Structure 1
Amino acid sequence: MPDTTRHPSRSLKSSLPWLSGIITGWISGVVLGFFLKAVQALTGEKVYTLLLNIDFVPGLPPHLPEWFEFALHLGVSVVIGIFYIWWVKRSGHPLSRGLGLGAVSSLLYIPLAPLSSRVPDLNDAGAILYWTAGHILFGAVLGLCGKYVHAKKRPLVQ
């Protein structure tokens, strides 16, 4: 019988950080969503609308309830969270990896903005600034969650 503490299973099920990734993605996605919703309420910039916008998905009705669109956003965040925790467990550097993912995900503004007339234009500097700030915040929250998960997994030095 193999010693699982010395030779943990390398199966996909045991190598993916399901629970910590789901929680990390959910928390980060909620923070991003609430931040962009607050920005939109305070400034009128339609960055929350852009976050939830799925007008471009064929076969879906033109307008869906906000809760459903937010749930789809959280689904994407959870997938990112699972990938992120898996990555950090293998490579370390949770904060820089989180901020990097946040910065890269902010680039989604470029392909998403032209897909709907309900969202800001590609040349809306204010919207780009808020969108980028929200995604950097998303990355920072990923990083903080990853730092916590990474710290819990390290063996204690005696």
Structure 2
Amino acid sequence: MKQWIISILIGSFSAILMGLYFYLIEQFTGKQLYTLLMNIDFLIELGKVNIWIAAFEFFLHTLVAIILVRVYIWTINLKKITSKDKRMEWAALLAFLAFLTYFPLTTIAKTDTPAITDLAAVFDWFLGHVIFFFVLYYGVEKLLKKNKSSIRG
């Protein structure tokens, strides 16, 4: 149960920070990274954008972040990873895998999103996932330290 609470807290916080970062990028540059982050039009047609649809899309984004945090905690516990360097590598791997979603999401999106070859957009997408990495790694590390190096149960 503790792992789920931690996953919800860290996942929600990272989702909010990433969402805010991509929203600001979109507002200031016009590059539709927030649109890409929230985009689910390839899964289901939701119709016109309204507050409920936007909230649902953000909920799905947050849910993915929570699941990634849960996978991270599960992995470091299952493999009994005590080395901070190894935990950092796992956090970086998860964040990098999340970053790689830029390419398939851009390709299958029906909504206008940045081009797959837009290097500035790819770099901004990368920076957004660096934010996720820092929140994931340092958030869990802080809680590991607080809970005497183990997040079980």
Q: Which runs of 4+ in 1 moved over 4 A?
A: none
The answer as to 2:64 corresponding to 1:76 is yes
- When Rg is computed on C-alpha atoms for both structures, the one with the higher figure is 1
Pick from 108, 112, 137 the counterpart of residue 105 of structure 2. Answer: 112
The one-letter code of the counterpart of 2:81 is S
Residue aligning to 2:19: 33
TM-score (norm 2): 0.82
Separation (CA, whole Å) in 1 of partners of 2:102 and 2:94: 14
The counterpart of 1:51, out of the listed 31, 37, 52, is: 37
* Partner of residue 115, structure 2: 121
Question: What secondary structure, in the 3-state scheme, does the structure 2 residue paired with 1:123 have?
Answer: coil
The residue identity in structure 2 corresponding to 1:131 is: W
Query: What is the TM-score when the length of structure 1 is the normalising length?
Result: 0.80
Q: Give ranges in structure 2 of 5+ residues lacking alignment.
A: none
CA root-mean-square deviation: 1.8
1:98 matched residue in structure 2: 91
Q: Deviations over 1:100-158 (max 9, x none)?
A: 22122100011100112411111111110100110111111111111111112226xxx
In structure 2, which of residues 145, 148, 152 is the aligned counterpart of residue 154 of structure 1?
148
Q: 1:54-90: CA deviations, max 9, x gaps?
A: 01004x4244432221111111111112112222343
Determine which of 42, 46, 58 is the counterpart of 1:61: 46
> Which structure 1 residue ranges, 5 or more long, are not aligned?
1-13
The amino acid of 2:72's aligned partner reads: Y
1:96 partner amino acid: E
3-state SS in 2 of match to 1:56: coil
1:96 deviation in Å?
3.4
Say which SS state the counterpart of residue 130 (structure 2) adopts.
Answer: helix
